[in-house]
Amino acid sequence: MKTKFNLIVISIFAVLLSISLASSMIINSVEVGELYPGQSASLKVEVKNTLNGDVTDVSLVLELENTSFTSVGSSEDSEDEINEDDKETFSFTLKAPSNIKPGDYNIPYTLTYLDSDDEEKTRTGSIGVTVGAKTEISYAVEAKNNVAGEQGKVSIKIINSGLGDVGFVNVKITSDSGLEILSSKEEYVGTIDSDDFELATFEVIFEKTSASITAKITYKDFDNQEQTETITLPVKVYSREKALELGLIKKSNYTTYGIVAVIIIVWIIYRRIKKRRKNSKKEA
């Protein structure tokens, strides 16, 4: 009998608690503009009155003291009244520091109001905001042994100068001019950290002094959105004469050996002819 009584009491308490939680001032929605390091964005918080009565002197304060964020203007917004089952929007301007790491953050808040009995009520919680990262990718080309008629390498340099990492980077050569790709035309690079770069390297034969490559670059940005870029980069290729002049290649010794060999052969022939003429004179 006692056990049954306890179960009834617990059940009644649970029902009253659920009613209490269901009837309250709640954060109905949060809208944050695009927020980047060193920049400001609007923050709009919608508060709904689910109480059985109107409330007055409603105040919402962003508790920014122990966060990296600051407010442009006041960190508090207020409304004179929110009627039963009605809602109001509280607006702020939030600024992120320039050195903040992109990611998700929580901002504490305090909500105070007077209920229908003129009793002051306070509710605390946190609002989630995301600091994004603008993707800043640039490209360059590097070449090794880039002399017409020679085999060498071409590398596409992918530079991430943004504040967020990019992932799943893939490079595919879609067309080329003035050179022939010997290796696979596609290379998976992977992740490129912020303020870093990676290379996609291809084996080639340089055919002309005027060359270029076109590549399709795919990657996922900081917000995990897939991006595709098509780039065309000129490739500097030297003629053999210019490469010799600049010291990029060494003059072959075969030419020198050939000249020496010709001189020796001419000298031998000359000596034989001279010897024959001597012998002819003696016989005469």
Q: What does the pLDDT look like over 8-36, one tens digit per residue?
A: 434 444 433 444 444 689 999 999 999 99
**Residue 137: DSSP 8-state:** E
Segment holding 250, helix H or strand E: none
In this structure, are residues 204 and 173 in contact, taking their beta carbons and an 8 Å threshold? no
Q: What is the pLDDT of residues 198-244, one digit of tens each?
A: 999 999 999 999 999 999 999 999 889 999 999 999 999 999 998 88
Chain position carrying tokens 């490739």: 235
In this structure, are residues 132 and 36 in contact, taking their beta carbons and an 8 Å threshold? yes
Coil vs helix vs strand at 145: coil
Per-residue pLDDT band at 279 (split at 50, 70, 90):
low
What are the b/e assignments for 216-234, b being 16+ CB within 10 Å?
Answer: ebebbbbeeeeeeeebeee
* Domains defined for the chain, CATH in brackets: 25-131 (2.60.40.10), 137-246 (2.60.40.10)
Chain position carrying tokens 């950290």: 193
- The answer on pLDDT for 39 being more than 60 is yes
Q: What is the pLDDT of residues 104-152, one digit of tens each?
A: 999 999 999 999 899 999 999 999 999 999 899 999 999 999 999 999 9
Looking at residue 58, what is its pLDDT?
96
Phi, psi values for residue 275, rounded to 5°: -65, -40
Structure token pair of residue 240:
């053999």
Per-residue pLDDT band at 265 (split at 50, 70, 90):
confident
* Distance between CA atoms of residues 130 and 23, nearest Å: 29
Task: Pick the range with the lowest mean pLDDT from 44-53, 54-63, 90-99, 274-283.
Answer: 274-283
